[in-house]
Amino acid sequence: MKQEIITASQEETKRFGYELAARLSGGAVIALSGDLGAGKTTLTQGILEGFGVLPPYTSPTFVIMKQYAVTLASYPLIKRLYHVDAYRIGTQEMLSIGWEEWIEDEAGIVIIEWPERIADIIPDNVITVSLEWADATRRKITIDTGVPEV
């Protein structure tokens, strides 16, 4: 299933993430594609807020993976969020720091920025969200769940 929307501000992109959170189940892997400044981190913050994770959020660019605990009663089956940034590394290094453990966590959700960097270890059940710069304040967001329409 594919869906496309245009957001007109950073807040709208955050809200898209917030609403996406409610549609995710444990074990989901979300790949965020898009150039620098497209809004990947902004969208991630919306997802984090959706799961009741409070700021400050630190960027995983240097630490590669930032893990958050989910304690919201409304999501009893989701306990952890893994925010991953593959910008600086490749497949072998990602595997060596625990990638498989994160994607196999059925009570976890993995959000990955720069999935292209580790394309060969992205699982088949990935939900792909692509962000494209439209102009200074607008972004085109396409979500592809990988599930064919019936």
- Residues of this chain that interact with ligand ADP (CB under 6 A) are 7-10, 12-13, 34, 36-42, 137-139
DSSP 57: P
Residues with Cβ < 8 Å from 75, sequence gap 6 or more? Answer: 51, 52
Q: Does 66 bind Mg ion (CB under 5 A)?
A: no
Tell which one of 14, 20, 40, 99 touches Mg ion (CB under 5 A). Answer: 40
Lateral strand order in the sheet of 138-144:
2-7, 138-144, 127-135, 29-33, 108-113, 80-85, 65-69
39 binding partner (options Mg ion, ligand ADP, none; Cβ < 5 to 8 Å by kind): ligand ADP
Nearer Cβ to ligand ADP (9/74): 9
Q: Does 42 bind Mg ion (CB under 5 A)?
A: no
